[in-house]
Amino acid sequence: MRISEWMAESGVKFGTSGARGLVSRMDDRLCFVYATGFLKHLENLGEFGPGTKVALGGDLRPSTPRIVRACAAAVRRLGGEVLHCGAIPSPALACGAMARGIPSIMVTGSHIPADRNGIKFTRASGEIRKEDERGISALEVEVPDGLFSPEGALLSDEPDGFGAVPEAGWAHEIYAKRILEFLGGGALRGLRLGYYQHSAVGRDFLPELLRRMGAEVEPLARAEEFVPVDTEAISDRDRKLGREWGALGRYDAVLSTDGDSDRPLLADERGIWWRGDALGLTAARELGARAVALPASCTTGAELCGWFEILRTKIGSPYVIAGMEELAARAPEGASVVGFEANGGFLVQTEARRDGRVLPPLPTRDALLPMVLALSAASRRKIPLSALLAELPARAGASGLLREYPTERSAAAIERLRRATLPELTAEFAGIEGTEAVRVDDLDGVRIFFADGDTIHLRPSGNAPEFRCYTESGSEERAEELLAKTLAAMAEF
């Protein structure tokens, strides 16, 4: 049966970053099939064969060790060698594997709830692209007899790589060395940081790396059960926690990430969480970037600041990476090209150079780099993070989502809005926005621009039955007001 047929039958499909779905649908057999499809695709490209090493890791969801075990069985069944990296941040696994010139498989559902999980595939050259997804989906995969129970459970004694001792932390150290050698060991000296641990896979490794850069780090709110922290649609609970930590007057900043530690969450000394695109702009400026690729969900602050050449893309790291490649192809030699997303994930396409030091490329989402770039800038200039944020264009963004919003309903809503005329859109959103709709961008979903500069951007999630909304205005209060009104309207749409 083709992978595309497995996807249609299970509902576990490729989204914006890997295959994701309900854990109840992701039995061992399905995960084995998907990993096999990835490796067979690499075999067709001449990038996998008997003896090829494959780095394998995962996040801290309860279902992750089981899925890792099924993926490891696929690697070994095809003659590959598994390098178990255990629980590890996605960017650390990818960075280590790319440095060694080998593919990797990361089991993670990122920011989505624990009843869902996913598998992220990375070639030796970087994340798989949409063309890779199409190649994998077209492949036929046979399931060996006797390997699974009738219910789809793996019957072999395959070690899961979590209970076993992982491979000596080599990928962690390659990732750490990249940042340490660029910023230097004392880049954060004198800073007192809180680290919101929750259930993020990098909750121990990343604070220790911050200490290696000279910071004093205090762990906060460690969770025993999985907590779905979304850095793009920050929950009321996390906003409240940030304000409480800021009110203590103890920290220069509070840091965190999503579940697989590839999306950052940074709060300033007041406990106010930064928007991901504001953090991306600051990090890109610190790296001296010439050109930036970013998705349609980011605010227009990128264009207003005038610091970079900007290329807008669809939402999702594969599109941002393709945009970075396009920018790099026409950039002058030595120019730095980066990308970032509204969730704060930061990607580096070309070498960045500063003070005689070189930052190697890492064209996959990274959480730690943009946060330490902002922190080191504030420390070097002896200003608080809030003052650094104030230097950006006065554009505020807000984002939120409606959970358990059926995909068919999302598609119908977007199609109706896409077909509407500007006067119809003005009337449709009259009770929310109050001014005339002047332009529509359907690069990804529907983004409506109004005469007063406000925008409303609506799109279905690529990973879950969720409907996302992004708003932009001249103030945080107005952006949040627009968001609340739009979500309420879309719930009844």
Which residues are the active-site residues?
Answer: 110
Residues 6 or more apart in contact with residue 203 via CB below 8 angstroms: 195, 197, 219, 222, 261
Give the Cα separation of 327 and 143 in Å (integer).
Answer: 42
- Amino acid present at 215: A
Give the Cα separation of 155 and 164 in Å (integer).
Answer: 18
Give the Cα separation of 58 and 104 in Å (integer).
Answer: 11
Distance of CA 227 to CAs 113, 197, 237, 376, 467, Å?
7, 10, 11, 29, 20
Per the DSSP assignment, residues forming a β-bridge with 437 are 450
Residue 100: how many CB atoms within 10 A of its CB? 15
The answer to whether 409 and 278 are in contact (CB under 8 A) is: no
- Amino acid present at 122: T
- Amino acid present at 271: G
Per the DSSP assignment, residues forming a β-bridge with 195 are 219, 255
Per the DSSP assignment, residues forming a β-bridge with 294 are 312
Per the DSSP assignment, residues forming a β-bridge with 121 are 105
Give the Cα separation of 441 and 432 in Å (integer).
Answer: 19
